Amino acid sequence: MIRGIRGATTVSENNENAILQATWELLDKIIAENHLQAESVAHIWFTVTSDLNAAFPAKVTRSFEGWDYVPVMCATEIPVPGSLEMCIRIMVSAETEKSQADIQHIYLRDAEILRPDLRLTDSKKSV
């Protein structure tokens, strides 16, 4: 079954290092928590809010060994007034035997407010 695995994080400034470091942390956690292998991933969408333009977050995928051929794409989020700023989002489409309820969606830093109902966010994981 192909499942969508979501995640998001934020950065405090619009620079390449901050964007790539935060994206690496988020993708690494998504991969680890969902036991993903590159061969099971159909593609990954990365989006950023319009205030982030210093780097393509998808670039970080190539730093994971064996992930060279995973198709990736970047886009800009819809600029809804009042929405979370400085935010990077990821949608991984992967083949897995996990049920929807067993997928581990990852929300880090200020992005935790996007999905407080999910059990795997920084603050809820340690509970």
Residue 79, CA distances (Å) to 48, 90, 119 in order: 10, 17, 27
Query: Mean pLDDT per 10-residue run, the chain (127 residues)?
Result: 97 98 98 98 98 98 97 97 97 97 95 78 45
Instruction: Return the pLDDT at 99.
Output: 95
Catalytic residue chosen out of the listed positions 13, 62, 85, 95: 62
Tell me, yes or no, if 3 is annotated catalytic: no
Instruction: Return the pLDDT at 120.
Output: 52
- pTM for this one? 0.90
Of 2, 6, 30, whose CA–CA distance to 115 is shortest? 6
Tell me, yes or no, if 119 is annotated catalytic: no
Domain with 63 in it = 2-125
- What does the block give as tokens for 89? 């989002």
Residue 113, CA distances (Å) to 47, 64, 71 in order: 17, 28, 29
Instruction: Return the pLDDT at 116.
Output: 78
Degrees, nearest 5: CA angle 42-100-73 = 30
Q: How many domains does the chain have?
A: 1
Tell me, yes or no, if 89 is annotated catalytic: yes
The CATH number of the domain where 59 resides is what?
Answer: 3.30.1330.40
